[in-house]
Structure 1
C-alpha cells in the first residue's frame, strides 16, 4: 500500500473520522488491489518473455540451419516442442494455480507446435499450403485451452482460425471455401461460456468478447459464392443479433467497453442503413441476380433467412419480458431484410426515415437520462445522415455551409443546456 494512503488513514483515525475496523478494511482492500496489479504484470511479462524466447530460438536455428545435418535439424525441430511440453507439465503439476506460469508455458508451447510443424515439413520437403498448415496447427493447440486452462492460447486460436478463413476464402477466392471455420470456432465455445460465467469482468473476458464478435463479423463474408450482393441481408441480421445479445440482461450489466456486441451491433446497423439510404446502392441489389432460383436457393440467401429467423426469436425473447411495451427502433431493424424485396429504390427513402428516427430517439434518451454521450451520439447520427444526403443532391456550397453551421450551433446549444441543468440539479 502506498505511503500516501497510509498517512491519510492515520490522519482519518486521528481525527476520529473512521474507526479502526474501517481502516483495516481499507488497508485490506488496497493490499488486495495492489496484489492483483502485480499479478497482472507478472502475467504480461511472463507471456511476453515466452514469446521472445520462442522467437529467439527460431532465429538462432534459422541462422545456422543450412549448415546442419538432417539428424541435427530433426533434433532441433523437436527441441522447442519438448521444452514447451516440459514447461506446461511443470505448470500443471506444480504451478496449477499460478496464471502467469500456466499462460506463459501454454503460449510457448503454442508457438513451439507451429515451429516444429514448419521445420519438419522443411526437412522432409512435405508439400502443403498455408491453409492446411494453419488448420493443423490450430487443431493441435486447441486442447491446450482446456488442459492448461489458457485464455491467451484461446485468443491466439481465434486469430489463427480467422486468418485461416480469410486466407482460404478471401485470398484464394474463388478456388476454395473455408466452411471448416464454422466447426473450428465451436471448439472455443465451452471455454468462452466458462469465462462469461465465472469471470465476466476480467480482461480475458473483455478480449474474448471482442475477438469472437470481430471474428464472426470478418468471416461471415466467407459464405459468398455467386450472389455476393445478398451478403448485406446476412450482415444486417448478424448486427441485429449482436445488438440483442448486447441488450440482454447479462451483457447490459457489463461496462460498455466489455459489451462488444452492443457496440458492433449498433454501429453495424447504422452503417448498413446509411448504405441503404443511397439510391446507387440498389443498382447492385438483389434485382440484378441471374434468376429467382439462383437468389432464393443460394447459400447467401439461406444464411440470411436463418439469421433473420434467429433475430426474430431474440426479438421475441427480449420484448416478451416487458409485454412489448419497451420496444426500440433498433429492435425492428431485422425486418429491413424483408422490405427491400418490395422496392429497393423506394426503400432508400425508408432507410433515411429509420436513421433519422434513431437519431431523434437517441437524443431523447440522452436527454431523459441526462447523459451527454448518448445525446451527442444521436446528434452525430443526424449529422452523418445530412452529410450523406449532400452527396445525393445538387445544393450549393453556401446552403451546405449554412446547414453545417446550424448543426454546429445545435451541438453547442444542446450540450450547454444539459450541462446547465445538471449543475442546477446538483446545487
Structure 2
C-alpha cells in the first residue's frame, strides 16, 4: 500500500479531508527529502575523501621526478584547494550540510597530507605522536568555523590515536595527559549538536565514539600502581552507563545509545574477567607503597570517576524511584568494596561470581516484568557467560560443569516458552 498514491481515493471516499491530505503529502515529501539529503551528505563526504586520496596517489606515483620546489608546491596544493572550497562553502553554501561536511573532510585530510609531505621534503625530524598532535591542533578550528560534525568525528579518532601512540605503541611510553584537554575542546560542538540535531546520524556516531575514545585513553594514566586501574575502569563504565540512562539518551533507540551499550557490555565483561582468582591472588601478594598510592594518577582517576558516577547516580535517583535504577548502574560502588576485601581475602572472587549471578537474575526479572524477550534473554546470556567462565575453572569437576550447562539450557527454553505463552495465552 502506497499512502500518497491512495490519497485521491481516500478523499473521494470521505475518509480524509483535503486539508489532511495536504498535510500527509507535506509530511512524506519532507521525509523523503531528509532521506535524500542524508544520502547526499554521505556521498559528498566519501567523494571528497576519495578525491583527496586520488590526488595523493597521483603525486606519489611521480614524486621522485619533481624538483624540491615543485614538490613543495604540490604539497601545498591540496591544502589550497581545500581552503578555497571551504571558503566557497562559507560564502555561497553556508546552509548546505552536504557541501559543508564534504569540503571540511577534504581540507581535514589535506592538512595531514601537507604536513607529512613538507616533513618528508625537508627531512624534518619527528615521530607519529607529534605528527598526530600537530594535525589535530591545526584542524580543531575547522570544527567551529565550518560547524562540521565530520571534522569533530575525525578529530576524536585522531586524538585517540595520538593517546594510544604516545602511551601504548611507543617505547619508552610517555603520559598523554594533553589528550584530556583536547577532548574537552570538542564538548561545545557536541553540546550544540545535541540541541540542534539530536537525532542525526552525526549525533549517533558521537554517542559511540566519545565513550569509546575515553575507554581506550583511560589506560594511558596507568603507572606503578596499575592495579588501581581496575576500579577506575569499573567506575568509568558505571559513569558511561548512567549517562546513557539520562532522559535525553533513553528517548533514543537502544542502538543509538552508545553510552548505555558500552557501559553495560564493559561492566559485564570486566566482572566475568575478574570472576577468576588469578587477579585476586596477584592483588593479595602485591605490596603497595601506601604513602605513594594516594597521590598516584591511578588513584586520582579512580577517585574522580567514582565521584562523578555517584553524582550522576544521585541525579538519576532524583528523576526516578530507587526501584528503577538498574543493577549495572551501582556495580562500580559494589566493586570498590569487593576490591578492598580482595586486598587481604580470597572471598572477593566468590563475591564477584555472586554479583554476576545476581545481575543476571535481576535482568531476567526485569525482562519478565516488562514482558520484553530481549531483556529477559540478556539476563540468561549473562548467566550463561558466567557458566562458560566456570567451565574453564579447574576447581570444578566435569559433572558440575555439565550440570551447569544443562541447567542454563533448560532455563533458556523454559523462560522463553513461558514468556511466549504469557504473550499469547490462546497459542
Instruction: Place the TM-score, normalised by the shorter chain, in its bin.
Output: over 0.9
Which of 73, 76, 84 is equivalent to 1:75? 73
The unaligned stretches of length 5 or more in structure 1 are none
CA contact (8 A) 2:390 2:401 kept: no
Aligned to 1:88: 86
Aligned mates of 2:317, 2:222 — CA distance in 1: 33
Runs (5+) with no aligned partner, structure 2: none
1:41 partner SS: helix
Aligned-residue offset at 1:384: 1.2
Q: Which residue of 1 aligns with 2:310?
A: 312
1:38 to 32, 36, 39: 36
Q: How does 1:20-419 map to 2 (within 5 A)?
A: 20-285=18-283, 287-322=285-320, 324=322, 326-335=324-333, 336-344=335-343, 345-419=346-420
Deviations 1:207-265 (A, max 9, x none): 00101010000000000122222211110010111111111122122211121111111
Task: Classify 1:50/1:347 alpha carbon distance in 2 versus 1 (closer, same or farther; 3 Å).
Answer: same
Report the TM-score, using the length of structure 2 for normalisation. 0.94
**What is the deviation of 1:321?**
4.1
Tell me the SS of whatever aligns to 1:311. helix
* Displacement after TM superposition at 1:326 (Å): 4.1
Residues 162-197 of structure 1: per-residue CA shift (max 9 Å, x gap): 001101110014332211111111111100111112
From the superposition, tell whether residues 362 and 23 of structure 1 become closer, same or farther in structure 2 (CA, over 3 Å): same
Tell which deviates more after alignment, 286-295 or 354-363: 286-295
Question: In the alignment, is the contact (CA less than 8 A) between 2:225 and 2:288 conserved in 1?
Answer: no
SS in 2 for 1:338: helix
1:319, 1:325 within 8 Å by CA — same for their partners in 2?
no
Aligned equivalents of 1:353, 1:40: Cα separation in 2: 47
Deviations 1:66-122 (A, max 9, x none): 111121111111111111000000000000000110111101111111111111111
Indicate conservation of the 8 Å contact 2:4/2:24, yes or no: no
Cα-to-partner distance string for 1:30-87 (whole Å, 9 max, x where unaligned): 1111111111111111111111111111111111111111211111111111110000
Secondary structure at the counterpart of residue 411 of structure 1: helix
The CA RMSD over aligned residues, in Å, is 2.0
Structure-2 separation of matches of 1:150 and 1:254: 23
- Asked if the contact 1:158/1:211 (under 8 Å) is kept, the reply is yes
SS in 2 for 1:342: helix
User: How far apart are residue 14 of structure 1 and its match?
Assistant: 3.7
Report the count of equivalent residues.
424
CA distance in 1, matches of 2:86, 2:356: 53
Contact 1:237 1:334 in 2 (8 A): yes
Bigger drift between 277-286 and 412-421 goes to 277-286
CA distance in 2, matches of 1:241, 1:297: 22
Residues 405 and 96 of structure 1: CA distance in aligned 2, closer, same or farther (over 3 Å): same
- Give the conservation status (yes or no) of the 8 Å contact 2:338–2:348: yes
